[in-house]
Structures are given as structure tokens and as C-alpha cells.
Structure 1
Amino acid sequence: MKDKKDLKTRTKSEHYLMLGAGVVGVITAVIFFIMLSLGVVNAVVTSKISSQYQDKELEVLKTDLNYRSLDFIGKVINVSDGYIISKSNVQKYNQLENYIQARKNRTKMVESLYDGKSNYRDDVTSDKINDLDKLLLKEKNQDVYQKQRNKLDTVQIWYEQTQDADKYFSKTWDAFNTDNSSLSFEKISMVNTYYKLIKNKTVKKRWSEAVSKMDQYFSNHQGESSRVEAVKKELEALKNSPLTEKYIPANVDIVSSLNSTTGASDALTQAGITDKNVLYYNSSKNTLALMTRVSGKYVAENGYANVTNSQVSSGKYTVKKLVNANSNDAIITDSSNSNFGQYVANATDSSLSALNVADPDNTTADFSSATPVFWFKNNSALNSSIYFSDGSTLGFIYAGGTSYNNGMQISSSDLSNLMSQVSSGITFYVN
């Protein structure tokens, strides 16, 4: 009987032990599956966070971020209240959000400089532009940085052009009010060119009446004011004067101009150029001028522009276009394309495809390396420029911006002056 009782007691104990072991097993399994689930969730979160980076190690965000995925992660973190998502992932997410917000803030700061699509706001200053230029360097994604920088460069060029115009108008308007006859053809041309370049509504409104008055006066009083005519008379007088009589010029300015262009005349003659008008660059003096042929000699009737940087090879080119580009304008840069060098206004995939251009999208700012097309939206410094080519290479004369192969940089005021003088089709000679 005792043995049976002991056996019964032992059986019950074993039963409870087995039952306890089962409960422990279930709890362990539940904990295991919970931990496994948490591990899976965190692994997914880690993966989704990492997928927002172009280069995780260098902390370079992608150009296009998956905001839906980020919003989902944010909601999971808020709901979990620190129990599901690991602290490490929460920190990574917060860091990612900070990077994204900083990018948005920089973009917003650039956009805040604009007053509509074609003007800048009154509170824009050179200091504000320079400070923002430095701030944009914090963007590590090159594509995003280039887009932000292009927009800032556009404002900077607008600002510099408008400031130059404001100064020129002040000087010209004061001189005009003192002596109406001081308004020459060159000056009224510059006035109207500058007026078109003003990209601030307040400045444009301020000078509107003055420009209108100068235009009206000149249209009613224009006459023979060209210095070329004066040069012609001087040269004719020199040609017809007796050999025994020393010629004394009536205008010292004309003679000094002739003396300074002797080298240009020789260089152009040796190059076999006899065009009436030639855009000429003297690389030894870093000067650029529109030369006019008068009695076999070339004269810089409107003076010279100083070139701050030139990477244009010696030779003969043709001015293809005076550029005043829209954001969708482009030039075909693929040298294997029979349409190489063609300027395409308001280019689309369809219009470029018709010109045998495939996959035209790119963000390259350097026109000399962009392919298969160069988009003006990628380099706002060239939106107002002089485009030239020799059939196998293409280049630009422009103001500001960065130096590029086959590019020539001058001041914005000199560029405006040149663009009011030259026209497409004339020869551009680099000596």
C-alpha cells in the first residue's frame, strides 16, 4: 500500500513538473517569438533608414527620398513608446530627420530670395548671397547641391546685373540732365540693354520714367554720333594730306584708339579676315573688343573689355547666338551627332529625340563636359552670355560663375555692353 501511495505521489510530482516545464517552454517560446519579431521589426527599420542614404558611411542622402517610408517609421516609433524600436534606431531616425530638415531649410532659404520666377526680393544683399553660398556646402549630395547652387547663382547674377544697371543709370541720367546732348547712340543702347537685365521690380519701377524720357529724347534728336564716322574723317584727312605736311589729329582719342589697335589690324589681316565687324580677343593684353574695319584698319570704336579669365584656344570662331536662355533651353554637345552645337529652345525629350538625342537628362554644370546636351538650367551663369563655336568645339563669353574650358569671363557690365554691340554670325577671333 505504501509503495502504491509513494508511486501515486511521485506520479503527481512528475505531472506537475512536466506541466511546469511545459508552461516554461511556452513562455520561453513566446518570449523567443517576441524577441524574434522585435529583431525583425528593428532590422526592417534599420534597412529602411539606410535606404535613404546614397552613401551611409559618408552620410550622403539620396536625391529623392522615400517620405512615405519615413512617415511610417516615425509613426511606429511614436506608437511603440520606446518598447519596440531600439534606441539605436531611434537615434538613427532622428539624425536622418535632422539631415532632411536641414536640406529643406536650405532650399527654402534659396527660394526666399526670389520674387516670383523672374525677379529677386528687395532684401537680397551680397552678404546674404555669400552667407547662403557657404551654407549650401553642407549639402553632401552633389545633384541636390548643384540644383540649389544653380538657383542661388541665378539670383547672384540678377543682383549683380541690377546693381550695375542702377549705377549706370545714375551716371547716365545725371549727365543727361546736365547736358541732353551727352546721350549718344552707345549710351541709349546700353540704357535699354541694362533695363532689360534688371531683375528687381522696385529698381525697375524706379528707373522706368527716366528710361522712357531718355528714349523719347534720343528718338527725337538722334543724329550722326558714331565715332566710326569721326575715325573715317580722320583717316581720310591723313590719307589726303601732303607728304611734306605733318598731320595733326583733331581728336587725340581717335589717334590713341588707332595706335592701340594696330596690332589687332595686323593679326586680323594675317589671319585673312576682312569682315566689317570682328569680335577680337588679345590674349597678351587680356582685352576683348568689337573691331570695326575702317579704310583697311580695325578700330575699337567702343573701347575694350577686360577679360578676367580665358580658357579659349587661339583661332577663328563664329558667334552663334546672344543667349538669353530659358530654363529648358539646351545645346547639343555630342560631337558624334550631326546636329552638334545646335541651340534648342524649350527643349523636350520629343524635340531632342527628333535631333537624334537620346537620354538627354543630366545635371552637369560644365558645358565642355556635359553630354549629350548641355542644359542652361544647370549653369545660370550662362543664361545671359555670348555663345560661339568653330564647328568642332563650343564656348561662351559670360560673367561671373566658374572657369570652364573654352570659356571667357568678363564683368557683367562689359558683357551687357558687348551684347548690345555684337550680333550672331560675326567672326570671333582669338589671337
Structure 2
Amino acid sequence: MMKKRIGLLYGGKSAEHEVSLSTAHAVIGALDFDKYEVYPIFITLDGEWRRGERLEGPVNTIEQLQFGDHTATLENNITDFLIDKKQESTHLLSNQQQNSSESLTKQSVHFDVIFPLLHGTNGEDGTVQGLLEVLNLPYVGNGVLASSAGMDKVIMKQLFEIAGLPQVPYTHFIRSEWVKEQEAVLARCEQTLQWPMFVKPANLGSSVGISKATNRDELVKAIKVALQYDRKIVIEQGIEAREIELAVLGNDFPKVSVAGEIKAVTDFYDYDSKYKDGSTTLIIPAELSQDTIASLEDFAKRAFKAIDGSGLVRADFFVTADDKIYINEVNTMPGFTPFSMYPLLWQETGVSYSALIDCLVELAIERYEEKQQLHYKRD
């Protein structure tokens, strides 16, 4: 069987650059090199694209994934960087492409699939997904709409509201409102929400820039922190509840994993708790009633469909002491190391880390082949 050629896209001009490097390191370690030809594509913090040589096996350190100037670097043409027009037609052609009347040389692509391992801005927000759509390349994970909606917490919450999913009270505003009408913004928060409040940049992940506020002074400080990362801010009502997460996998007919619970030592599951100090306990499976589990599974699928998800999503919920459920958010490119919640949930469900990667690649190709059936020319 011919190996599938995969381009791993990681790094990125994002506050979550380091998280992406860890994800790439873990995925490379789990890939079956008897099934795949693996090419690393590194995006620096400055936004420079660099493609490394084909990997022959796992790499020992994360530092090896950060290439120097001796590697292939994107100069002007992203098409030449991702699509090799000189490849022979035996490489990576679908049956439909082989039967096309167009030139085989023109249709030859360098990769069977691109695997974006980018977290946060400029990677998880629909920007890279849009680029790959324009280049007509198969890629793992969510499309443009789901990625952008899943990144923007305001849009996400509005879609959840339309889908009838329960949420905690919230409000939102943009930087210009804060600059011109600070007092009015603070008054709106205090009138519509109760303390404590959680202040978040609307377009960021991994809990970067999130703060808890228990009074007005802390609220002002938290807003200033969040505005360093985004022009749009979300402020949510804090509640006493357990943090429960489920993993969703699939395209049109998604499956849901067992539920897991996060118990953080800090006030909330922040960046350091997730990636640095190891102070958070993950309980898988979570101890919940069967009725609560059934509701969570239903809500997770509805959230996935509300954003038009594909591939993978982690759905995060709050569950109160009296078993009331509130959806918090979905993450369209969740942490993906073997020790991250998403792969751990599937492992407990019976899907290993390497099998999960294989499944995501197949789902990407399935979605791509379906899109190739669309007509763009009137008969």
C-alpha cells in the first residue's frame, strides 16, 4: 500500500506557539512511519514558514522541530511551498483526479493531507483553513466556519443560543466601547452579572489572558489584561460547578467519548495548570448519573453541529451540584499530546492515541472527497 504523505503544520504566530510545538512533537512520536511519509512545516513566531526534510522517525526533542535558515523557506508563493507541480502523477492522486481531463502534472499535489497542529490565533481561527481551502488541499480538523466560530467566544455563544443550549449569563464588548464608555461597560457588567466574573479575550484559547474578578477594581485590571490579547472581550457569570469535558469525533455522524472531569487547584483551569505545573487532576471517566451523561452527550453533539464541526471538537461543560448543565465552550483544536484531555478521553473510550490520529486523517480525506463532488460550473 502506498504511504500517505502528510504535512504537519505547527508553531505559528500565536500566544499558543509553545503548545503547538508540544503537540507536534507528540503526534510525530505516535505516527506510524510505515503508513505515512511525514514532512514538518514550521511557522515561526514571526510568521515565517519553513519546511523541513522528510522525517524518518520520531524526533528526540522539541528543539529539533524549530528549523534554521538552511531549510526550505516560503518566499513569495504559498502554492509552490505546499503544492509541488513537478511531482509525478503516481503521487497522491485520487481516482477522481486521475480521471480528470486536466493535466496530471498540474493536478499533482505534494501532500495527501495537511495536519494543522496550530492552536489559537492564525491557526485555529479559520485563517489557515481558508488558505488550505483555496489551495484545494485536504486537511485534518474543522473547516473555516467551525474554526472561526469556535475561536470567537461571542459568535460561539450566539450559535449555542440558537441551538437551544443552556449557558451561564454573559456580556461582551469591543475595545473602542471600553475606551469611550468605560463606566457604562462596568455598569452593564454589574447590572447583568454577579460576582465573581470571568474575563476572557474572545479570540484565544488555552486560558491565555483569562482572569477572575471579585470586585470592580479586579474587573478593571482583568479587562486590561484581556485587551492585550484581543479587541473583543467576553465577561461571564461565575458559578459553583464541576468542569466536565467530552471529546467529539467524526464528520456528519459524530461520536462522543466518555466524560472527564477537571479538578484544578487554582481558581480555574488556567494556562499554567494545563501545561506547566501539573497541579490539575483529570478524572476519567467522571462520576455522573446516567441521565446527566446522556444529556451531556446530546449537548456535545448539538454543539458540534451548531458550529458545523468536522473532525474533532472538545466540548466543555459546567455541571452544578443539582445536575444542571451549562455549556462553556467548544475547542476546535484541543490540546493533543498523549496527556491532554481529548486523547485521554478517547483512550478511556477504547481508541488509542495512534488510532485516533489515523481516524482524523481518514475523516479529513473523507470530507475532502465529498467536497470534490460539488459543481462550480453551470451545466
Q: TM-score, normalised by structure 2?
A: 0.28
| Structure with max Cα Rg | 1
**TM-score normalised by structure 1 residue count:** 0.26
- Highest relative contact order (Cα 8 Å, sep 6+), 1 or 2? 2
More helix by share: 1
